[in-house]
Amino acid sequence: MKQKQPSFLLFKKARWRLASWYGAVISIVLGILGIGVYEAIIHAHQITVEKELKTVAGTLHDSLETILNTPGKLEDKIMQFLPNLCPVNTTCLSQNNIYNYRLGAIEKGQYYLYIFDLSGNLIALSKQNIKGLDIKKHQKQQEILKDTQGIRYLQISYMLHNKKGENWGYIQVIRSLEDFDNYLNSVALILLLGLPLAVILIGLSAWILTGLAIKPVYQSYCQIQQFTADAAHELRTPLAAILATIESTLMLSTWTEEDAKETLQSLKRQTERLSALVADLLMLSRLDWQLTSNAVSTIKYEKICLNYLINDVIEELAFLAISLQIFLQSEIRVNHRIEILGDPEKIYRLLFNLVVNAIQYTPPKGEVKIILEEKNKLAIIKVKDTGIGINSPESKHIFERFYRIDKGRSRKDGGSGLGLSIAQAIAQAHHGTIEVKSEVEKGSLFIVQLPINF
């Protein structure tokens, strides 16, 4: 069975933890928000119901006061004004159902009307009556009541005065809160059922989002791990060679001056290779640091004339080109100097790496050309060769660290597989780009674009 890498499990654990925290926090926020919304609905409904009942009770109270005479006496005028009112201890005629707009709502069973005398005795009530509620004169002007079935009611009482301004009795209007409570119960049910569903959806999206967020971190973690392993491997090779040279020399019983010279020469070569590799790694890590952080730039910005720089590279590599029978030349396609701002040593290194590769990967009698152009405020340097070329699946990887197509060949030529990654890091540090177009057996074209003013 394939074992999972510890780093993979570590990232999976971190993803779980992040997703759980994220899901929990959002769920709590949503829960609090849901409770808030529920409370706001209750409050808004309560105010509306209270206002409504006060308006009904107030209108009845104001209208009655204009026709009241003897305190506590239900006169004909009152009965005419409220035809659906039943005096207590009388047979209330249900056929006497004359429609009256003031009692429209009462008729529908939404409101219940009770009239009390000054001693608090009930003297009349609306035909619609509440079953299971103790009917009495309530002391408070407004209060919530509950019947035996648990249905809630809101009551409002007002004192009634006759035309002379004397106290007459009390009017008490009650409204059932059943419809209001039913509505609130369904809102609560929707919220309660919706919350677990929302939590599941949040959890799912948290898992997906944390996965997306962690993916680049995981990838760069893997790259660093791979890079460390590759670097250790590359450093081990010259170190092993140095150790072998020393050990074999120590085994010699006698030493001639020539042996010593040969051993030292060999050690020198290995050490030079080692220090070149360490220098390359150091440069890459510095360029990386600069690209990925806001650290102070390690690049010194100076004016660089690319026309001269190309000549310098050609001059330095002319001997290598001749020794490998390569025709090395430049083609400056502008008739003025192209200057960029940058680090001359690094730009030189970029070009040097490209041209060395072009020479090394081109068979004898081939051609390597460095072309300089200018387009849209960009200096364009092309390194073109008629060499072995690179097939397209490989060309996607050649800028990766320690990547070599033909490992045996490039090691033999001293290549560490860092040349192109260094070139790319330098181009990026100068706000430029580098790309390759290549065809197997026909040759390669490396194109570097560097901004002239940035």
427 binds ligand ADP (CB under 6 A): no
DSSP alpha helix (H) spans, 324-378: 344-360
Contacts of 242 (CB under 8 A, 6+ apart): 267, 270, 271, 274
Is 312 one of the binding residues for ligand ADP (CB under 6 A)?
no
Complex with ligand ADP: residue 270 or 444, whichever CB lies closer: 444
Q: For residues 370 and 327, give the distance between their C-alpha atoms in angstroms, rounded to a whole number.
A: 11
Which residues 6+ apart lie within 8 Å of 51 measured at CB? none
Stretch that binds ligand ADP, among 84-92, 110-118, 274-282, 399-407 (CB under 6 A): 399-407
Contacts with ligand ADP by CB under 6 A: the residue count is 23
> Is there a contact between 154 and 174 (Cβ–Cβ < 8 Å)?
yes
Pick one of 19, 130, 388, 450: the residue that binds ligand ADP (CB under 6 A).
388
What CA–CA distance (Å, rounded) separates 412 from 6?
36
Residue type, 4: K
Q: How far apart are alpha carbons 114 and 322 in whole angstroms?
A: 119
Residue from the set 420, 427, 429, 434 that interacts with ligand ADP by CB under 6 A = 420
Please report, as residue ranges, which positions from 345 to 384 form the binding site for ligand ADP (by CB under 6 A): 353, 357-358, 361
Q: Which residues contact 280 (CB under 8 A, 6 or more apart)?
A: 416, 418, 422
Q: Which is nearer to ligand ADP, 171 or 355 (by Cβ)?
A: 355
Residue 433-452 contact track with ligand ADP, rule CB under 6 A, x = bound: -----------x--------
| 8 sits in which H/E element | helix 6-65
Is the dihedral angle over the CA atoms 282, 285, 290, 291 positive or is it negative? positive
Asked whether position 313 contacts ligand ADP by CB under 6 A, the answer is no
Which CB sits closer to ligand ADP, 338 or 355? Answer: 355
Which string of x and - marks every residue 63-102 that binds ligand ADP (by CB under 6 A)? ----------------------------------------
Q: Which is nearer to ligand ADP, 380 or 420 (CB)?
A: 420
386 binding ligand ADP? (CB under 6 A): no
Asked if 155 is part of the footprint of ligand ADP (rule: CB under 6 A), the reply reads no
Residue 116 within binding range of ligand ADP, rule CB under 6 A? no
Asked whether 130 and 147 are in contact (CB, 8 A), the reply is: yes
Give the C-alpha separation, 126 to 113, whole Å. Answer: 5
Query: Is residue 234 within the footprint of ligand ADP (CB under 6 A)?
Result: no
385 scored as a contact of ligand ADP (CB under 6 A): yes
Sites of contact with ligand ADP (CB under 6 A):
353, 357-358, 361, 385, 387-390, 398, 403-406, 410, 415-421, 444
